[in-house]
A = this chain, B = another copy of it.
């Protein structure tokens, strides 16, 4: 990833609307640098758009100052993660030409690592108390099982799912339909700030951009593509949460639905989904049974773990702070690693995704595989 390429992608992230597959095709065929240059410097329209539309894109491009954008984002704790970066979540490539040019990210953990073991929990804004209860419980119980809870930061089901995960000391990611520096909805400013501190806030729109109806719809494809599956908690007919679930199915992910009373309009959309390919789930155990690895329910994780040498130094310090036997809380591990509790939790979820550690209630411990790799002389650092 050259600086030139990154700057070109910043430009495109300000010019192209989310999910613009014509723009995505240009980037695939000519490269981001050539497309951005053609838009900024002028020239004949690229194929697939009218002259008027092309001029509209050029008008946007003329105003972009990508260096300044990156600098200001950096000052606000926001980074731009592009395809080719180490932090890029490869599963977004499944979106084909609808793949975002990049994602703006707020928060310490690695998006790529967190996305590996993540599930989306989404649903109605105007949910019932039952829906809020189910979303919060799923959020908490998925987090307790070491899963990252992804949602859209909205009122209702989304907020309850995020709060459930946060309340369990777990990992959660909010995918916004606007700039990650501008919490939307405004009433969730505190929640989204807390997610950025303890987890991740991501979005494809550059800092300062507003949400629009089509941006909400396009945001849903990111949630679907990032995660192993999407759980819809409550949704009326034609709800955006159903769009996310259908996108998940199209992308080969799991779609799941929480049942509710047949008399509830806010469960009608979920039930429609359950009459199709979606799977009915009543609790986090059933979600994990579906999206988890083979043998996920067994206490020990199978398979080889990554060599420690490939971990970044901060992750290695956290790993070293785990006790040789038994569990320790994230706070104890943070003190041992000389970092903050939030940072330690982020690293622990990454190490969990890589098979080094597992969570037991409030504590964390080395997996059997991680212990074996010590005995085999890979060494602790």
Contact = CB atoms under 8 A, between A and B. Distances in A.
17 contacts: A130-B261, A133-B263, A134-B263, A259-B259, A259-B260, A259-B262, A259-B271, A259-B274, A259-B280, A260-B260, A261-B261, A271-B280, A271-B282, A274-B274, A274-B280, A275-B280, A280-B280
A324 to B, nearest CB: 40
**For A259, A263, A268, A279, which residue has the most chain B Cβ atoms within 10 angstroms?**
A259
Given A134-B262, A258-B262, A275 B271 contact: no
Copy number in this complex?
A: 2
A267 interface: yes
Nearest to A268: B282
Contacts of A258: 262
A336 B360 CA distance: 77
A279 B280 CA distance: 11
Interface residues of A, number: 20
A280 B263 CA distance: 13
A274 B258 CA distance: 12
A293 interface: no
A258 B261 CA distance: 8
A71 interface: no
A130 B263 contact: yes
Contacts of A130: 261, 263
Contacts of A263: 130, 133-134
A259 B232 CA distance: 15
Contacts of A259: 259-262, 267, 271, 274, 280
A111 to B, nearest CB: 30
Contacts of A281: 262
Contacts of A67: none
A260 B134 CA distance: 13
Interface string A272-306: 00110001111100100000000000000000000
Contact of A260 (B261, B274, B279, B286): B261
Contacts of A267: 259
Question: Which 10 pairs, one residue from A and one from B, show the smallest C-beta to C-beta distance?
Answer: A259-B259, A262-B282, A274-B280, A275-B280, A271-B282, A258-B262, A271-B280, A130-B261, A260-B261, A259-B262
Nearest to A264: B261
Interface in A240-281: 258-263, 267-268, 271, 274-275, 279-281
